[in-house]
Structure formats: structure tokens, C-alpha cells
Structure 1
């Protein structure tokens, strides 16, 4: 009886604490404390990764390039599907180099940022690879450099130190110099690409850039040029049979007049630089240096004049796009500032009849 009571008392009492359990809690507490201390002091350590914008140089050199993400793959796929273009898997696309020139006049400087931003939005919709080359005078570089960094487009920003008067800029000498600056950069770095000169006031249909990638040597297309001060639209471009260029024409839709240009050296037509593109390999083609006599070395060095001359003279190398050149895919807006209203409150454009 007593033995049974003793066993019952032992069974109903509280069990003794195991010494291993307390040691486990002590180890867990020690590990937690060590992790907390390490994390606390790690927060005060300087980071090894810095923002690329914070270390960007303040001064901008004559040429610099910033590589930024162009487009996420999903956005590219949505853009291509919306336009009905399905790229072949694994097929490499040729590089497009879009050259944009600017003006250094005070009036143009006020609109430069807005027009560059609009052009950037257009180029963001073009599937890569694409390189945007922007050329401008050195004093205007800082503001434009910041704008280009935020576009998300692969670009190169070229500058020059030459000064041009307002009369020279109006005559197109500054833009001609800017285009030669861009072509010199392309030739120096041997950028294999299709080169196109895009004006700040140009408006594009996105299918146009797909047509550009199909150019092997030269390509040309009609451009509808609109004037800001006058109610007038002039269409200039090649006259084509399928993709074969037969000549050049210019038509003023305001009065219906049409002019044509021949292709001889004596009567080379005036070709809009925004109306053709070419493969950059022609810039370092050995045949280029044999086209000019040794007595005229300056002409052989003028890359822009050389390209324009080849396009105007040799139709066999020029491909008309789109087929038959019947569709206008590029609209150019004259970037000249609007004139001030006269005393009667009418501008020259308001005096014209509506059409």
C-alpha cells in the first residue's frame, strides 16, 4: 500500500527540467544577438555601388556615349504585334543610325528641348538596334546632355566649337557642318549601319523604320514638307517604278505645280537630305576618292556632298521605298519661327486662302 502511494506521488509530480533545453535557448539568443549587431554596423558601412548620375562629369566633351536600356522586351513585342510585324527568331537586325541636327540661334534654342523630347518618344518605339546621334554647338551641350540621359535610348552626343552667324545658319551652312561632323564620327569608328538624317520637325510612320532596314546601299522616299508660316505643302522625292528610281520630282499641292529633276551631273536635282538614307560603308569605299580630281581635295573630304552627289547621279544604286513611292511615310515641318503679326493682326499665313 505504501509502495503504491509512493509510486503515485512520483508519477503525479512535475518532471525535472532537462539541462539540454536551457542550453538550446541560450545558443539561439546568442546567435540572434550576433546577427543583430552585425546588421546594425553593416548599415553604417559605405555602399560599393553608386548612382551613375551622381558621378557623371559636369563638363561634357566633344563626344560621349551613354548606354541605357532601350526598351523592355515586352514593350518591343507589343509594338511589333500591333504593327503586324513578327521578327524572325534569331535573325540579326541591321543597326539604324538616326542623325539629328540642331540650330544654335536663340529662337531655336527655346524649342530644342521640346522637339528633342518628341523625337525621343518616336525613337523609343523603334525596335533595337538603334543609335541616335545628336549634333549641336558646344555652348548648348549641358542642358541637352541631361535630356538625352533620361530618354532611355542609346545615343551619342557630338559637339563642335566652330561659330556660325545668323546668316550662315539661315543659309544651311551650320546644319551642313553638323551632318559632316556626324558622318566623320561614323567613318572614324566604322559604324556599320543604315544612316538617316532626321529633322527635329519630322513626323514618322513607324513602318518607315522597318523599310530603312531593307536598304543595302541607298534608299529614297517622298517627303511632304509643310511650312509653319504658309498654308502650303510641297512633296519632294523619287519617281519610282516598283523599287526602281526613275527620277526626282517636286509638287506643290497649294497650286498643283509639278517640277522634275534630271540625273545628269550638269543638272543634278536638289534632294532633301531627309528624303534618303544610305549604308555607312559608302563612306570608306575606295571608289569615293576616285570621283574627284586631285586639284579639288576639299570636295573629297566633304562626306555630305559626296553622298548627295551619288544619290542624285546614280539611280541604279538607289532603292525606292515604299514600293512605287506612292505612300508618304515622312512629314517634315519647317522649323522656322513664326513671324510676328502685322499691324492689321494678320500673319502671312492668315492672308492665304484656306485649302
Structure 2
């Protein structure tokens, strides 16, 4: 399969010979990235990107160390202010922070206050202990515009005001902007929709959720029916490949022209579930089924033993069903969006980020990877 990530134009400005020579004479000091939430779906993939990128060094921060070799690790309880301050000295060489952490409660609940305090506690520690800090980046999303609540302006643009229910995004961004004004740091925020990646232990994972859902229906002898409404089946939406997103994160944190800006990031194409559904069905040897509005958390409540039998028969890794998919996330944040969700990507393009991904090829590639890893049949 051809490489699904294509670069239409170089994301960085070309340097003339004089500039290149000057850089050779005065090499830039290494950037030391602190990836916060390093053991999550996004965090682990970003850690790999940082570790593989020349000129970057990596420090990770999470409750459990991520599976990335050769990095320094800091274990902090971001909800404990005193604990963060007590360990501020561990952040002394940090130049760039990528804040990917979030606190979720059961049922995919998000506490605005807790997530706001987690960032504030870390920023207090950085103000005390990171004299070389230059840039802090927040990973947010299209909830800034209220896409999880109802129809929004199409396309959603970065200068659109935050929705009244923008999750914790507005609180975090306003706090960070105030801190940057005092400390001389710069900031950025990245706003993708539906992160798509290879990862386990991160149930709010679109691709693995879709593959798990299809595999369960096949095991039960059913067709691949759509669990949302007809409006959701017909709505225009999009998603973001994890490799594209991590590339955009380093770009936005590095380019001077990107400082103090928010950027929508996506694959560059859009789709309707009604058009993708037959492709997913074919991938798993199913027939596409009808629209069938379903309470997914209730429907899946007794399907754990079904998955265990399937996994044992097919020789899959013995992962519990609740580690593969969060059905509240699927119900409310995927199949419950009965309106178009289309962000504008113009701002990122104008600032120099031109990477794109074909979404259909991305789904095929990631499904194949989950199969080869023995996670999906």
C-alpha cells in the first residue's frame, strides 16, 4: 500500500545558503519536550514522534511510564498542587510542554474543574522550576465549537468564540494565555476531531471501537447495523490520523509564526458514515446493515463473555472488552452527532502545515495493524 501521508508542500520555509551556513555555525540548543499524559493514546504516539525527531529530547510525565525507551520520566499527581511544586526541580531543563493529559470519570464524564486544576498545578511547578521553558501546547478538540452539543457553524474556524459548553478547553486556554503574558512563554492549541491510532488501554479510540463493534456483531451472526440515527448516518464528519496530528504538534510548537495560535487539524478530507459503513463491513466480512438506534452502553453490558469466547477461539490477546471500547464515548461522541462537523483547515495551511491523509486508506491500515497484533480478528 502506498504511503497514505502525503506532503503537498514542505511544512517549513526553505532557508537560503547564508541561513543554512549560519545554522551550521550556531546550532540551535536541543529542545527538551515534556509530554504530559505520556501513557495515553496520544501521549505514547507523541513520545515516539519526539524520540525519533532530530533536535528533540524527551521527558515523559504520567502515572505509569510509557513504552518509549531512552527518555527521562517524571511521576506526578497533577491533581495534588503541593506534590507538583515539590517536584518542580525535575522540570529544570524543559523547553517545550505538550499537555495531553485529561481526567475522565466513569461513563466518559469530564470534570471541567479537575482538568483546569491539573493544568494550573503543572504551570505553577513550571513557573518555579523550568527557567528554560519557551512554549506550552494544549491538546484540545472541536468541542471548543460545541460540536458535541449541536449543529455549529460550517466550517468551524479558529477565531470562532468558544461554545458555552466547551468542556475544559476555554478554562485551560484562558489560564495558559494569562501565564504566558506574565512569564514570556508562547502557547498553541491543537484541535483535531476523532483521533485515529493504534493503541490499547485507551477505550476512547475510534478505530479500535469500530473494529470491536464489527467483530462482536459478526460473532453473533448479525449484519453491521449502524447504532445511531439516520441523521448521524448521513452527517458529514472527519477525523485525524495520529501520525499527522503528532507531526502538526511539533510543527506548531516549533515555528515562530505559529506562536500564540490555535489550529484545527484533520486529515484533509471528510466523509459520511453511510459511505464508510460498507467499507468497514467488507473489511470484517459482514454485510452492511440498517440504521438501528441503540443504547450502546446497555446493549454491550453483557457482551464481555461473547468477546472472551471470540478472543479464545481466534487466538487474540486476552484483553477485556472495556479496555477495547468505551461505549459511552461511542454513543455520545461518535454515533450521537446527528449534524455536520467540518472544521476549516485553512489557517494551518496558510501557516505552513500541508500534510494530508486519505481517511479510507487510514482505516484499512489501522484495522490491518490491529489484526496483525492479535487484537482484532
Greater Rg over alpha carbons, structure = 1
Larger relative contact order, structure 1 or 2 (CA cutoff 8 Å, min sep 6): 2
- The structure that is strand-richer by fraction is 1
